[in-house]
Amino acid sequence: MSDVSRRTFLGTTLAATTLAAAGYRIVDSHVHTWKHDPEFPFAPGANVPARDATPETLLELMKANGVSKTVIIQVIHYRYDNRYLERVLKQYPGTFKGVCRVDPLDPAAPDQLSQLTERGFSGVRLSPGNGASGDWIAGPLMPPLWKRCFDLKTPMTVLAAIGRMPQVAQLMEKLPDLTLVIDHMADCPVDQPRELEKLIALKRFPNVFVKISHTWSLSRQPYPWLDSQELVKRLYDAFGPRRLMWGTDWPILEGVAKYEQALTVVRDDMKFLNADDKSWMLGKTIERVWPFPA
């Protein structure tokens, strides 16, 4: 580890200690990392930004904002090659958790997931698109993969549009106690508020959690994105704070919002939240799903 990385790591550890003394630590539930490096080539056809999104840059942002730990989601740029993220997890043990990807069209995906959990991953992410190419979410390969998640006690994370939620519910009917995390409020459009009921319907499953991580993306207003806060308020009323988690979606949010705004919108500007609510949504809920060492 370089001197800069070591100083950043120590600073982050100090921030974690301070927040722990206050009763909880802030944990970011959703970021991505990548680096232009021939050792870890991007998938063919990947549309990768010219800039890198390194863990060192992320650690600086965490330190500056009092964020103690972070869950890194395998970025689509590498598709199902999880080796770069695996290296990051090994570089910074105890600071990051990693959520891998497996090929949902590969019958061997459950075994691949088992191998990846043995290599240090703590969840898997599926991303069915809106069109026919994403209809595999309702296909025969899903139940074995979801069952393997349940057997491994590995969280299933789903990035899907709101219209896919009934299909997600059908899978959950077979495994009602599976830990499932829905990314980004299922990207429910703010001008179609009734659609949110498709996500709210999942509240009947006790281990379904929702990331409220796209307030900045869904909103049609400037910060603090009051229109998308209305979606968060409805999810708060339905699920409660112990099943909601914030996240930045760094560095995807850059160009639309700042890292710190993704935090302050919850910490400072969601006026319907009390201090206990924030302790859950900013940290304790996330550590229910992805517990970090003390």
Instruction: Give dist(CA 161, CA 130) in Å, integer.
Output: 7
Domain locations along the chain: 3-289
48 backbone dihedrals φ, ψ, rounded to 5°: -100, 130
Structure confidence at residue 290 (pLDDT): 98
For the chain, the farthest-separated pair of C-alpha atoms sits apart, in whole angstroms, at 52
Number of neighbours of residue 191 by Cβ within 10 angstroms: 9
Low-confidence ranges of the chain (pLDDT < 70): 1-22
Q: How far is CA 191 from the centre of its chain?
A: 24
pLDDT digits (tens, 9 = 90+) for 182-197: 999 999 999 999 999 9
Beta carbons of 236 and 207 less than 8 angstroms apart? no
Structure confidence at residue 23 (pLDDT): 78
Q: How far is CA 229 from the centre of its chain?
A: 18
Structure confidence at residue 22 (pLDDT): 56
Which one-letter amino acid corresponds to residue 68?
A: S
Instruction: Give dist(CA 104, CA 24) in Å, integer.
Output: 36
Class of domain 3-289: alpha beta
Coil vs helix vs strand at 50: coil
Structure confidence at residue 228 (pLDDT): 98
pLDDT digits (tens, 9 = 90+) for 124-137: 999 999 999 999 99
What is the model's pTM?
A: 0.92
Instruction: Give dist(CA 208, CA 185) in Å, integer.
Output: 12
Provide CB contacts within 8 A for 80, sequence distance 6+.
Answer: 101, 102, 103
| Dihedral sign of CA atoms 115, 117, 120, 121 in order | positive
Number of neighbours of residue 131 by Cβ within 10 angstroms: 7
